[in-house]
Structures are given as structure tokens and as C-alpha cells.
Amino acid sequence: MALRLRSELWVRIGPQHCALALWRAGWRSHPAVALSMAGDWPEAALRSALQAVRRTGHALPRSAVVVLEDECLSYYLLPAQHRWRDAVDRARALFAVNTGDEALQVTLGLAPGGQRWLAAAVSGELVHGLGAALGSQGVAIRSMRAALAEDLQYRSADLPRGDALVALLRQRGLQLMALRHGALEALCWESCQVDVPYTVRERLMGFAVRQGLENAETCVLPADAWQHARLTGLADAEGWRLLPPLPLPAFREAGPAT
């Protein structure tokens, strides 16, 4: 249980879904409202979630923390020798050249192992759409974060300390990572049907060959209990370490958002 000095709205956005948690000020171990909504695009799912909160009779706070899943982001890994400000400028320039989007918003944090910066960028169009959806209910975006960084921080104690492959299952594919001595060295997004175990194995093993880590420890993080159940047999056969599903982000910890 943690003391919150103000009410907080936490929103996690995927390509066609939104998870939302509303925390009230005071000593709280659970949110006042926690729900998930689907939509044809992220803004639609967010609008539905906000309307659902209104129907509960709870007032919305003035600002929200928005966490974006991998399908909504682009990533770069940059050497940690760059200073933070220099790394942000470098990442913004790389993203702009490769996407043509001058309105990108870029966030930066240390990757596992501390040897590289993990830069994430979201399109200006999506930021505008999410801001408009929240603004229609009188809520402003206080900060934006990458779900990958949030999930890795939550599961940091479970990540291998040596050479390894790590796969995070998402809604529309896999976020694959190569670790060398516990430090993130390479990152690759693979679109695929995550409900087909053979496809997951094919994508993961292809990445392993490209990284020269065919015999390395393999760690798989499913997003929910359904994905976990679908992969249990394959993980046993392949010798993968299948971690328990990530809990609903609203209940990961009772500490206040920053």
C-alpha cells in the first residue's frame, strides 16, 4: 500500500486496445477503477475507456501517464557513451530520417545492462490523437512511456545475467532481444500470429541464428494467461524458460506514477 498525494490516471495503449487504471489520492493498494476496452484504433479504444470511467461516476484527474505498447513505437539502441541529451538528439535525427515524421516524440532510458540507451519514438499523429481523446474529457498527457521499458523494469530480476534470448509476446507479434552478459545488444520486432506456437518458434530461432545465439538460454514472457497456456508445451519441448504472464499493469505496484 502506498500514499498518493493526488489522483492519477494510468493508461496503457495497444494497437486495438486500452487498459486504464484510476487511482485516488490517499493510502491505496488497488485502483478505484481498472478496465480494458477494445477499439478499431488506439484513439477509439481510449475514448471508450474514458467514457466507461465516466459511467462509473468517478471524476477523472487533470493529467494522465500514457504507456505505449511496441506496435505503436519505433526503437533504436544507442551506445551509452553518448550523453543523455546528445543521445536524444541523435535518436530524433535517426527516427526523422527513417520515418519522415518531424513531429515524433522521443523518450530515452538505459537498456538492461546499462551499456546502451533504449530510444523510443511515437508518431506526432498518434500523440495528437491520444491528446485529443484525453482532452475531450479534460485530461492532459503528463508523460509518455514505452511499455517495453516498463515491462523490462518490472521483470528485471527474472532476466538472464549471461548470453540469452528474450521474447516478449505482444498482440501482433514478438519483441525479440539479444543479451550479451546480461546487457541488451540487439532488438528486433517480428510481426506474427502469436497464437500459433510454430510461428513463434520460427521467428525466435531465426533471430537466434542471426545473433549467433542458437545455444543460448531462451526466456519467453507471455502477455497473458492465454498466451502462456498456448506456449507451455512448446517451451517444455524446446527447453525455454517460460515466465508467468505479466500481471495487469494497474496492479503491478501500488506506488505512485512519476
pTM of the model: 0.89
- What pLDDT, on the 0 to 100 scale, is given for residue 257? 39
Integer Cα distance of 73 and 114 in angstroms: 21
pLDDT, tens digit, 9 for 90 and up, residues 202-249: 999 999 999 999 999 999 999 889 999 999 999 999 999 999 987 765
> 253 pLDDT exceeds 60?
no
What percent of the chain lies above the pLDDT cut of 70? 95
Q: Which three cell numbers stand for residue 46?
A: 481510449
Q: Do 163 and 112 contact (CB within 8 A), yes or no? A: no
pLDDT, tens digit, 9 for 90 and up, residues 193-206: 998 999 999 999 99
Region 148-173 average pLDDT: 92
Integer Cα distance of 146 and 189 in angstroms: 14
Closest CA to 161 of 223, 232, 241: 241
Cα torsion 170, 175, 176, 178: sign:
negative
Region 18-40 average pLDDT: 88
Parallel, antiparallel or unpaired: strands 2-4 and 26-28 = antiparallel
pLDDT, tens digit, 9 for 90 and up, residues 104-116: 899 999 999 999 9
